[in-house]
Amino acid sequence: MGFMSLENIEKEFQTFQILNEVGEIVNADEEPNLSDDELRELMRRMVYTRVLDQRSISLNRQGRLGFYAPTAGQEASQLASHFALEKEDVLLPGYRDVPQIIWHGLSLEKAFLFSKGHYAGNQLPDDLNILPPQIIIGAQIIQATGVALGLKMRDKKAVAVTYTGDGGTSQGDFYEGINFAGAYNTPAIFIVQNNGFAISTPVALQTNAKTLAQKAVAAGIQGIQVDGMDPLAVYAVTKKARERALNGDGPTLIETLTYRYGPHTMAGDDPTRYRSDDLDNDWEKKDPIVRFRKYLEAKDLWTEKDEEQTIEQAQEDIREAIQKADNAPKQKVTDLLGFMFEEMPKNIEEQMAEYKAKESK
């Protein structure tokens, strides 16, 4: 019988890396052509976002933010991939992917309002090519395929890019989305951030596949696994995936091997119950910011002063943004009812009138 060798397929998906854990180039032929200013800007965004994560956790604990999913450890996976995109590209984030849409143009104030559950956090500028962060696991995969098909049909020189975690690949929407994307050759990029755990469920209990990247094979699309703690490698594969999509060569599935240093979300998750100190320590040695800092310092492109200025700027921006978010008008029931339907049904009209009367007292 001519069974296909799974082992041969899995051998094709070796982890792509350019910058090793101590900040040394190990794959010079693949080093991206980034200017000194671009390298510094990518580092600035990573440091800024680490501060944003630390402050967001504190604000959540103070009760000033609502839902929050920590991002520390995933800066290379999130920001280096976004750095390879253009403003006309459409982002469809998961709930952990707020940093990417901030750097795509969403204000910090809006990001904080989203976390607070305020409707204004989802009122986006018309010229900002993003969708609000998706809470339903994997739903953004199908949406990204649809957006990408729309871009293709309108001959737009842009791609749809979506992010999910390893747990997202266990959802039916994931398989339906990548299959449809392959069938219609859409300009889509699917980035799976494999941080090892879907809340507390390790990848080994989610799939028997050796990599998540190989799931691209069944959909007939390109797939690659990349060191998600290596900013240069993540940037390089995303840029290539974008070029392929714009050239009509179809979608790409990118698996980034990364790690979240904090809990899954701030809603009561305790990672010490399912992750060991040894595992945490292992991944801390791979910290994307430490790795990139060493690389830039060796090129005389980053100093302690640069880092301090970035941290100070982030702290100041966050102070201003959270104050604005705190002072936003409180939501009313009539606000929520008013946004629910384009044409309001009779029963909702009755509820609206009832609540308006209460609010006017």
Q: Which residues are catalytic?
A: 260, 264, 274
Q: How far apart, in whole angstroms, are the C-alpha atoms of residue 99 and residue 107?
A: 10
What's the burial of 188, exposed, middle or buried (CB within 10 Å: 0-12/13-18/19+)?
Answer: buried
What's the burial of 342, exposed, middle or buried (CB within 10 Å: 0-12/13-18/19+)?
Answer: exposed
